[in-house]
Amino acid sequence: MKNNKTKVLLFSPLRGKIGGITRWTDNIMTYYNKISPLDIELFQYYPFVKDKQGFFLFNRLYRGFFYYVPSIFVLFKLLKKEQIQVLHFCSSGSFGLFRDYIFLKMAKFLKVKSVIHFHFGRIPDLQCKNNWEYKLICIIIKNVDLVVVIDDLTLTTLKDFGFKNIVLIPNPVSPRIKEIIESNPNIKRNDNIILFAGHHLPSKGIFELISACKELKNIKLRMIGYFSDEILQEIFDKAGNENESWLEIVGEVNFDEIIKEMLACGIFILPSHTEAFPNVIIESMATKCPIISTNVGAIPQMLNVNDVSNLCGLVVQPKNEIELKEAIIKLLDNKDLSDNISSNAETRVNSLYSIQVVWNKLEQIWNVKSDDFIK
């Protein structure tokens, strides 16, 4: 019997350092293995990433060259041998765009339908700069069948520029969260606990968060995630001498523990200066946790800030500790508002960002014939 299933090669990291693309890949592959509607073969690759200790340009280029050159030949053989019909390529941009271009041109040469999935939200900023990265992005878009973006602003930016082969598919929330919630019915929410989860970096707004919480009474700020010794010292310097009463640096914990922390806290805060589509936002939405974040990337879209009657969280300007403090006080003092936005968030995440919804959108673009792709 002939197999009529579409064969898709998902070129994306599944293991290694935890990041947005890795989490996305894990969610997609876990769901696929449960339902198996398509033939998907995952080609493992080593993505360009920042080292936890810093950003080393030469190291990235050196490691990238000696890994990706052999990968070109491996991918070429894989596409031909397995008769792949669709190459779905996940990209974090930057110097990795050179690799993306080469591999996608290979797919075009072999007449394999190509999809590039931009897992970053800085394209609108890059367009304003009109730098080498944006110009390379434009070249790639012109040489690929379809482009997937993760936020409305990027979609609008590229379409306004004249590109037609752009679709919006948000990241999915992990189905594991529902299992964690159901297995921990006794966790009670403490309204006075404020939670941050993420890398402890200035760009995540951690110092504005500490400054805002430092002036509040009867709260506890719990900070989860990796931190360097230097950042830890800066945190304590910013917090002052009597921080033991309100500040707790938890450090790195596993995914299950993060979700439990979200179930137990009164407010989840992500005051980032820049983001694309942060998974921690949809994760906190799924745990019915009141949220405060910044109006960057897809966050306003995720929290539905333009619909006051169905608001799912509060957003403030990045780098503005005064607005951040006022937003915290607003939720602490208004239980009805807090309950309302958290309930709206749970409804929204289940209707728009569930793994089933996102999978159906991916399946649609994979099953479209090349001649019918938007041009």
Specify whether 55 is located in the same domain as 137.
yes
pLDDT digits (tens, 9 = 90+) for 230-277: 999 999 999 988 888 899 999 999 999 999 999 999 999 999 999 989
Q: For residue 35, give its domain range.
A: 7-172+354-372
User: Would 320 be classed as within a structural domain?
Assistant: yes
Q: Please check the confidence at residue 160 and state whether its pLDDT lies above 90.
A: yes
Specify whether 269 is located in the same domain as 238.
yes
The rounded distance, in Å, linking the Cα atoms of 166 and 374 is 8
The rounded distance, in Å, linking the Cα atoms of 334 and 330 is 6
Q: Please check the confidence at residue 44 and state whether its pLDDT lies above 80.
A: no
Total domain count, the chain:
2
pLDDT digits (tens, 9 = 90+) for 267-318: 999 999 999 899 999 999 999 999 999 999 999 999 999 999 999 999 999 9
Specify whether 102 is located in the same domain as 220.
no
User: Would 191 be classed as within a structural domain?
Assistant: yes
More confident residue, 124 or 79: 124
pLDDT digits (tens, 9 = 90+) for 61-107: 555 555 667 777 777 887 887 788 899 999 989 888 998 999 899 99
pLDDT digits (tens, 9 = 90+) for 107-119: 999 999 999 999 9
User: Would 2 be classed as within a structural domain?
Assistant: no
Residue 370 per-residue DSSP state: G
Specify whether 343 is located in the same domain as 360.
no
For the entire predicted model, the pTM comes to 0.86
- Give the angle 355-359-362 at the CA atoms, nearest 5°: 145
User: Would 267 be classed as within a structural domain?
Assistant: yes
pLDDT digits (tens, 9 = 90+) for 195-214: 999 999 999 999 999 999 99
Q: What is the CATH number of the domain that holds 265?
A: 3.40.50.2000
List, in order, residues 6 or more apart from 83 with CB less than 8 Å away: 7
pLDDT digits (tens, 9 = 90+) for 126-152: 999 999 999 999 999 999 999 999 999
Specify whether 151 is located in the same domain as 276.
no
Region 334-344: mean pLDDT is 97
User: Would 252 be classed as within a structural domain?
Assistant: yes
Q: Please check the confidence at residue 50 and state whether its pLDDT lies above 50.
A: no
Specify whether 152 is located in the same domain as 196.
no
Token pair 């938890």 is at which residue?
250
Whole-number average pLDDT of the chain: 89
State residue 53's pLDDT score: 43
Specify whether 244 is located in the same domain as 324.
yes
User: Would 1 be classed as within a structural domain?
Assistant: no
Specify whether 334 is located in the same domain as 367.
no
User: Would 303 be classed as within a structural domain?
Assistant: yes
User: Would 168 be classed as within a structural domain?
Assistant: yes
Specify whether 87 is located in the same domain as 38.
yes
| Upper half-sphere CA count for residue 154 (Cβ side, 13 Å) | 29
Specify whether 88 is located in the same domain as 205.
no
Specify whether 150 is located in the same domain as 206.
no
State residue 3's pLDDT score: 59
Specify whether 182 is located in the same domain as 303.
yes
